[in-house]
Amino acid sequence: MAKGRFCAMKKRGDSGEAGYSIVEVLVGITLLAIVLLAADRGAIGTLSAAALGREHSVATGLVTAAMAEAVALPFADVENGLDPTADSSFSTDHNIVASGVTNCDATPPTSGYVLKLNGVVTPTATSSVPVCNVKTSEAPFVPHVSSVNEGITYTLYTYPTTDTASPGIVTVVVVVTWKAPNGSIQKVVGEDAIAAP
């Protein structure tokens, strides 16, 4: 009889042959699952950081767009600022704080409002928010709060500020806030000075 290529399989038994028991297989599967879960958590952390970076990038773009809108307005309108009578969000904005008397007929006009971010008058301690605009609609100042949906809702707050120490200059402060997927409130703040022509 010719020798074939077939080998007989031996039964595993007490003869010391190598093989895996069900316990060894279960331990191996458990270890593999632990390693895969750890890798998955790392990937989720990386994806979360990338998503937050994208959200900040969108918010920064919104700040830039609001600044461009403000620069495109006539300087007199920028200098007149907000219109509390036409802007329903003015009275509910916790960043605008009454601090004195407003007189739009004075030369230059005076404002009894300041911008407080994190409890600090911004951009300088002597800045005020002009509120003598009589336009009923003039983005980004009337209304000074708007929302943009880019998969996430971003809220934009645009504030013109003047300072008696720097006449002829209006510093526009834009604040963009949004709720991140992890539930935290994120914020990007930008400011730029616009000088009288």
Q: Do the domain assignments include residue 96?
A: no
Tens-digit pLDDT profile for residues 95-111: 999 999 999 998 778 89
Longest dimension (CA), the chain: 120
Q: Do the domain assignments include residue 77?
A: yes
Is residue 130 within 8 Å of 80, Cβ to Cβ? yes
Phi and psi dihedrals of 50, rounded to 5?
Answer: -65, -40
For 62, the domain range is: 40-90+131-195
For each of the chain's 197 residues, which pLDDT tens digit applies?
455 554 444 455 555 556 678 888 788 788 887 877 776 666 556 656 677 788 999 999 999 999 999 999 999 999 999 999 999 999 999 999 999 999 999 877 889 999 999 999 999 999 999 999 999 899 999 999 999 998 899 999 999 999 988 989 999 999 999 998 778 899 999 999 999 98
Q: Do the domain assignments include residue 97?
A: no
Which residues are 177's β-sheet partners?
Answer: 155, 187
pLDDT of residue 9: 47
Q: Do the domain assignments include residue 19?
A: no
pLDDT of residue 183: 86
pLDDT of residue 142: 94
Q: Do the domain assignments include residue 80?
A: yes
Number of separate domains in the chain:
1
Q: Do the domain assignments include residue 71?
A: yes
Let me know how long the chain is. 197
